[in-house]
């Protein structure tokens, strides 16, 4: 390779597009907080969850984008909470908090039912840490 060849910019490979979920899973795998998996191993949404209407503010959508939380994740959490009753209730405010573990990640949703049917999402967050017995 000549000196002139070294100075020429090399053609860059254009990476293929990946979904937000693939990006999140890859990021978590790099941080050793998530077992790398494909989307097929995540349980499908129930018909009720698929039809669920969610009201989410633009600010919260930005938070969801930053933390790779999908509407599908929130629907899964709320569907589980409503079917099993595994949720916390704040008396006088008609406010619920629920969580659901999907693989090695926990998703949380703070929500309230709305008159039109469906749910208003007030807050959401996630963490991807799994501590096994005896690791502390």
Predicted confidence (pLDDT) per residue in 73-95, tens digit = 999 999 999 999 999 998 888 89
Alpha carbons 46 and 106: distance in angstroms, whole number? 19
The CATH number linked to 113 is 3.30.2310
Show the low-confidence residues of the chain (pLDDT under 50): 30-37
pLDDT at 127: 85
- Please indicate, yes or no, whether the overall pTM of this predicted structure exceeds 0.85: no
Residue 50 lies in a domain: yes
Alpha helices in the chain (DSSP H): 3-7, 20-30, 47-51, 58-66, 71-84
Residue 48 lies in a domain: yes
- Residue 105 backbone class (left: φ over 0; alpha: ψ -120 to 50; beta: rest): beta
Query: Domain containing 77: what range?
Result: 43-127
pLDDT at 89: 92
């Amino acid at each position: 390779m000549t000196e002139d060849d070294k100075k020429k910019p090399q053609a860059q490979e254009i990476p293929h597009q990946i979904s937000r979920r693939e990006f999140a899973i890859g990021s978590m795998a790099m941080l050793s907080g998530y077992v790398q998996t494909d989307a097929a191993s995540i349980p499908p949404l129930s018909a009720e969850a698929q039809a669920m209407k969610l009201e989410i503010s633009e600010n919260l959508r930005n938070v969801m984008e930053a933390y790779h939380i999908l509407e599908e994740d929130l629907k899964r959490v709320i569907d589980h909470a409503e079917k099993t009753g595994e949720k916390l209730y704040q008396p006088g405010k008609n406010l619920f908090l629920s969580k659901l573990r999907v693989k090695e990640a926990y998703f949380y949703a703070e929500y309230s039912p709305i008159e039109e049917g469906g749910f208003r999402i007030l807050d959401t967050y996630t963490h991807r840490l799994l501590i096994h017995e005896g690791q502390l």
